[in-house]
Structure 1
Amino acid sequence: MQMNRLFEIVYILLNKKTTTAKELSQRFEVSVRTIYRDIDKLSSAGIPIYASQGKGGGISLLDDYILNKSVLSEDEQNEILFALQSLTVTQNPETGKVLSKLSSLFNKSNTHWVEVDLSPWGSDKNKTSAFTVLKNAILNHQMIEFTYYNSYGEKSRRTVEPIKLIFKINAWYLQGFCLTKNEYRTFKISRMFNIGALQEFFLDRTSDGLFVDDKKPRSQKWISVQLKFSPKGAYRVFDAFDENEIIRNSDGSFTVTTSLPENKWLVEYLLSFGTDIEILSPQSIRELIHDKLEEIILKYKK
């Protein structure tokens, strides 16, 4: 809250030039003494702010002070505005306000040169509200509680120390320490319901056991698979696999050699490619696909 107030004071002075401690204290609903303490902190941080006495006096910035030249380079300004512009699609009202103010301070008019679409979460008001709850809980080291449905449709109530929000492969996830399971877990946001922050706070844990920053979780078994895609499936091949895993064949088809997790998800994932894919190996996965297709066919036989 204090950092927001300090930022607001600088913003006011850049636009209004001069104000008084009384006006600022009324605006922020704090004492005049608190405002003067804020002025001292800003001055100690290198902001050329001063207070003058007498008629026409007040709190001011040096006339030649420009925030963008004194604090941040041109590239740093653009990076900040890009990050904020990316977050505006979550419809978090705080982000829009900060973007507007920083655009004014940096004298930047073109802040809409990029748009990041996080649909369907970004377009859902309930999920946007959940994003704000999760964000605040992470920043405040506040425990959260929610109902969760895993990939098998099993329902459970979880208490979690939230650590990080990540966006990956068209979906949002929360990473945190699950007190219910007593280990680090990753939760898909779309499966989280009735999210609420608790009046309990937590300290940072050691990094031991924290998420491995690669695509292969320690506890998950991975297998090597070889896949063949028809020319029509090219658009998904390059979306789903690394370039060095793909070989283009002379007939226009593609052969992919990669590692995938050996679980229930694998068969469903491969089936999502429809007739554009053929599993070349291993034989065990070919058999699983065959059995699943027979099961599907049986449902449509009269």
Structure 2
Amino acid sequence: MQINRLFEIIYLLLNKKLTTASELAEYFEVSVRTIYRDIDTLSSAGIPIYALQGKGGGISLLDNYVLDKSVLSEREQNEILFALQSLSITQAPESDKVLAKLSNLFNKNRTNWIEVDLSPWGSDDKGISQFKLIKDAILSHRLIEFNYFGSSGEKTIRRVEPMKLIFKINAWYLQAFCLTRNAIRMFKIVRMSDVQMTQEVFIEKMLESLPSGSQTLNDPKWIEICLKICADGAYRVYDEFEEKDITKNKDGSFTIITRLPENEWLIRYLLSFGADAEVVSPQHIRDTIENELNKIILKYRETTKIIKAGRRIL
């Protein structure tokens, strides 16, 4: 892409000081005429770049030039570096190279002020490779194929037009137009396997051209929930709920009134509090929690009977 080549030309000139159009053309594997067009583009953008003819001549930048003086404000530089530094969250290896180059261009050294570890996602080579493959497919508008395991454990083969990677509720998702279902779907990354990028190119769809209802088909229903969390569960209260939703009671417990998505995640989330939390309302969520707890108790009782019967036989 031309924009990448333009930044790379500036970077090379900042480090090499003087070069020739022929050398740049060979480096980028383009024609000399293309390089001269790039030089004109940079000059028109206000970059102090010039070419000297004759022996000892070449293409150069004015001494002591840094990119921020002519193109980007201080705030714009910091926003760009912030975005690139944030990419390290995904452990995208190419982001470090771009960050280093632009830090040099902006004459800034402090770029290591943020570090986020989202393990286990991206914590091994396979995860990083899969993330990069999906990202490349999105940018190049290429179809991808993969096996997908639904919430029931059923495995299906999907062909999709990848649209966006999303990090939500402690997990990565791929938003894509699923050719199998003819609608937009959200795929949880950890449930995807054998991801392959095909040679088929798709035209990015505008939202208004998508099948009716597909934009919200995966959107969960949000409901208001009232929870009572005992004092022993305080360590999770301020981590997971907004202050405006929290009321601290005289006995040290907490009352939480908030909105949560009513889907398969909700019951498992509420059960994760164990005996520290009680659903006060709505009643149908209380009933669902009670049913789940009864299933758990029944399973343990049956297992215990089998174990005891086995011991008697022995």
Deviation at 1:43, TM superposition (A): 2.4
Aligned to 1:77: 77
- Structure 1 unaligned residues grouped into runs of 5+: none
Deviation at 1:39, TM superposition (A): 1.9
Query: Quick one: which amino acid aligns to residue 194 of structure 1?
Result: D
Note if contact 1:177-1:184 (Cα within 8 Å) is conserved in structure 2. Answer: yes
Note if contact 1:90-1:123 (Cα within 8 Å) is conserved in structure 2. Answer: no
* 1:169 to 2:155 alignment: no
Deviation at 1:211, TM superposition (A): 4.7
Query: Quick one: which amino acid aligns to residue 7 of structure 1?
Result: F
Deviation at 1:38, TM superposition (A): 2.2
* 1:102 to 2:71 alignment: no
* 1:39 to 2:7 alignment: no
SS in 1 for 2:159: strand
Describe how 1:77-156 pairs up with structure 2 within 5 A. Answer: 77-156=77-156
After superposition, the Cα gap between the structure-2 partners of 1:221 and 1:92, relative to the gap in structure 1 and judged at 3 Å, is closer
- Figure out how many residues of one structure are paired with residues of the other and give that number: 298
- Structure 2 unaligned residues grouped into runs of 5+: 305-314
After superposition, the Cα gap between the structure-2 partners of 1:274 and 1:100, relative to the gap in structure 1 and judged at 3 Å, is same
Tell me whether 64-73 or 190-199 shows the greater mean CA deviation. Answer: 64-73
Query: Quick one: which amino acid aligns to residue 110 of structure 1?
Result: R
Note if contact 2:226-2:255 (Cα within 8 Å) is conserved in structure 1. Answer: yes
Encode CA deviations 1:85-108: one digit per residue, 9 max, x unaligned. Answer: 121243322111101111111121
Aligned to 2:277: 277
After superposition, the Cα gap between the structure-2 partners of 1:142 and 1:55, relative to the gap in structure 1 and judged at 3 Å, is same
Deviation at 1:63, TM superposition (A): 2.9
Aligned to 1:53: 53
Describe how 1:100-249 pairs up with structure 2 within 5 A. Answer: 100-208=100-208, 211=215, 220-249=220-249
Task: Tell me the distance in 2 between the aligned counterparts of 1:38 and 1:3.
Answer: 9
Note if contact 1:25-1:32 (Cα within 8 Å) is conserved in structure 2. Answer: yes
Deviation at 1:210, TM superposition (A): 6.6
Deviation at 1:274, TM superposition (A): 0.7
Q: TM-score, normalised by structure 1?
A: 0.90
Q: TM-score, normalised by structure 2?
A: 0.87
After superposition, the Cα gap between the structure-2 partners of 1:280 and 1:38, relative to the gap in structure 1 and judged at 3 Å, is same
Note if contact 2:51-2:57 (Cα within 8 Å) is conserved in structure 1. Answer: yes
Structure showing greater radius of gyration is 2
Task: Tell me the distance in 2 between the aligned counterparts of 1:47 and 1:16.
Answer: 16
Task: Tell me the distance in 1 between the aligned counterparts of 2:196 and 2:108.
Answer: 37
Encode CA deviations 1:162-190: one digit per residue, 9 max, x unaligned. Answer: 11112122211111211111111111111
* 1:65 to 2:65 alignment: yes
Task: Tell me the distance in 2 between the aligned counterparts of 1:156 and 1:186.
Answer: 14
Aligned to 1:295: 295
Task: Tell me the distance in 2 between the aligned counterparts of 1:254 and 1:55.
Answer: 80
Aligned to 1:16: 16
RMSD: 2.1
Deviation at 1:10, TM superposition (A): 0.9
Deviation at 1:109, TM superposition (A): 1.5
Task: Tell me the distance in 1 between the aligned counterparts of 2:226 and 2:273.
Answer: 14
Note if contact 2:165-2:172 (Cα within 8 Å) is conserved in structure 1. Answer: yes
SS in 1 for 2:207: coil
